[in-house]
Amino acid sequence: MKDSTQYGVKFHFDNQFNLCPEKFTGITLYQFGELYFESNMEVPPHKQWCHEISYIISGRGVFQLDGVDYIVGEGDLFISPLNRTHSIKAAKDSTLRFTYVGFNFNEDSNTEDYSFLKSFYQPHMKELCTKDKSGVLFPFFRSLEEFYRKHIGFHMMVESYIKQILILTRRSFGEKEIPTLQHDITSTSVGNTIYSIIRYIDDNIFDIHMVSDISSALTYNQSYISNLFKKKMGMTMQQYINSKRIEKALELLRYGKLSITQVSNQLNYSSVQSFCRAFSRIMNISPTQYVKQHKSELNPIE
């Protein structure tokens, strides 16, 4: 359990359900929250009474499990399994902000649908830390939004997002799925190729730096798929990538309360200035103006 009364905590938003757990189909929720440390602040060692997934939103720190240190930073996922000893400390020269969910599987999980999750989330699991490769940040942020506001139907929304977090975290620890493409020019294969390109961009928008990343991953000639995409879609692949980046930027600003610099870094822009130019070109408004106009939405609680 995380103690927010200690000096050095910038803010701590916590939902604890250990006395009256939130039971969903297959999963029981014990804790969900967000914690922001000053530098050198720590959570002392404690035994995990449930599985816990943490997402590092910003800053750097050390997550320790059973005496072993793991250096974590922005975009990292860390799993603290059931019955193991866990502690957290912000770096000496950095703040540390992260969100987390504590859960266990219940009797409703004894079905084939949950087998791939239960076989992964085990007390003895060895691989504990990885980069987010599946967009886990968004269901985390949207869950926080639901807990902040508690609109009608929020319980059902939270259940959906919690399950997304578990599944997407599992995917981030596994190998990325690369679409299998047929290298021919029939009308059917052309359609499949375009769809595979779009799917790859949508699924990997945080990892794509340039168009050549896509052609390398899909084992196609860059010039060929660039010309094919423009012919069929009426826009270049770079234009499509830019639009998807800004779409994600709106979500990060809307739900995450991240700074414009952090959003720029998350989306692999070469500089904040290039991000602001791209944002303004597509949205006809600067990121700063967008944040000001939507301040009440972007900051649901102080």
> Do 247 and 230 lie in a common domain?
no
Q: CATH number, domain at 104?
A: 2.60.120.10
Range from 2-11, 12-21, 246-255 carrying the lowest mean pLDDT: 2-11
Q: CATH number, domain at 249?
A: 1.10.10.60
**What confidence category does residue 188 fall into, taking pLDDT thresholds of 50, 70 and 90?**
very low
Give pLDDT tens digits for 232-280: 888 888 888 888 888 888 878 876 667 888 888 888 888 999 999 999 9
> Do 217 and 104 lie in a common domain?
no
> Which of 120, 150, 173 is where one domain is finished?
173
> Do 130 and 225 lie in a common domain?
no
Which pLDDT belongs to residue 77?
A: 96
> Do 82 and 43 lie in a common domain?
yes
> Do 195 and 253 lie in a common domain?
no
> Do 154 and 258 lie in a common domain?
no
- Cα distances from 132 to residues 56, 58, 181, in angstroms, run 10, 13, 25
- In a 10 Å sphere around its CB, with 0-12 CB exposed, 13-18 middle and 19+ buried, how is residue 206 labelled? middle
> Which of 143, 173, 203 is where one domain is finished?
173
> Looking at the domain assignment, is residue 179 inside a domain?
no
d(C-alpha 62, C-alpha 92), whole Å = 10
**What confidence category does residue 74 fall into, taking pLDDT thresholds of 50, 70 and 90?**
confident
What's 188-204 look like in SS3? HHHHHHHHHHHHHHHHC
> Looking at the domain assignment, is residue 208 inside a domain?
yes
Rounded mean pLDDT of 170-184?
A: 62
Q: How many domains does the chain have?
A: 3
Is residue 16 within a helix (H) or strand (E), and if so which, with residue range?
Answer: strand 9-16
> Do 41 and 104 lie in a common domain?
yes
> Do 39 and 119 lie in a common domain?
yes
Range among 66-80, 176-190, 280-294 rated most confident: 66-80
State pTM to two decimals: 0.72
Q: What is the mean pLDDT of the chain?
A: 84
CA quadruple 254, 255, 256, 262: dihedral sign = negative
> Looking at the domain assignment, is residue 3 inside a domain?
no
> Looking at the domain assignment, is residue 219 inside a domain?
yes
> Looking at the domain assignment, is residue 4 inside a domain?
no
Which pLDDT belongs to residue 296?
A: 57
- Of the two residues 216 and 25, the one the predictor is more confident about is 25
> Do 65 and 143 lie in a common domain?
yes
Please enumerate in sequence order all residues whose Cβ is within 8 A of that of 249, keeping only pairs 6 or more positions apart, or say none: 263, 267, 275, 279, 287
d(C-alpha 11, C-alpha 21), whole Å = 23
Rounded mean pLDDT of 166-194?
A: 66
CA dihedral 154, 165, 254, 237 (to 10 degrees): -130
Give pLDDT tens digits for 52-69: 999 998 889 999 999 999
Nearest to 37 by CA among 130, 100, 80, 79: 100
Rounded mean pLDDT of 216-237?
A: 87
> Looking at the domain assignment, is residue 110 inside a domain?
yes
In 109-205, which ranges are continuous DSSP H helix? 115-118, 137-149, 154-173, 187-203
**Domain extent for 65:** 9-173
> Do 209 and 75 lie in a common domain?
no
d(C-alpha 57, C-alpha 136), whole Å = 11
User: What tokens were used for 70?
Assistant: 């793991």
User: What tokens were used for 23?
Assistant: 């039971």
Helix, strand, coil % over all residues of the chain, rounded to 5:
45, 25, 35
- Collapsing DSSP to helix, strand or coil, 294 comes out as coil
Nearest to 204 by CA among 235, 177, 239, 181: 177
> Do 148 and 199 lie in a common domain?
no
Which pLDDT belongs to residue 10?
A: 57
Phi-psi region of 178 (alpha: psi -120 to 50; beta: other; left: phi over 0): beta
Give pLDDT tens digits for 105-125: 999 999 999 999 999 999 999
| Residue 213 in this model has a pLDDT that exceeds 80 | yes
**What confidence category does residue 157 fall into, taking pLDDT thresholds of 50, 70 and 90?**
very high
Residue 252 near residue 258 (C-beta atoms within 8 A): yes
**What confidence category does residue 182 fall into, taking pLDDT thresholds of 50, 70 and 90?**
very low
> Do 205 and 245 lie in a common domain?
no
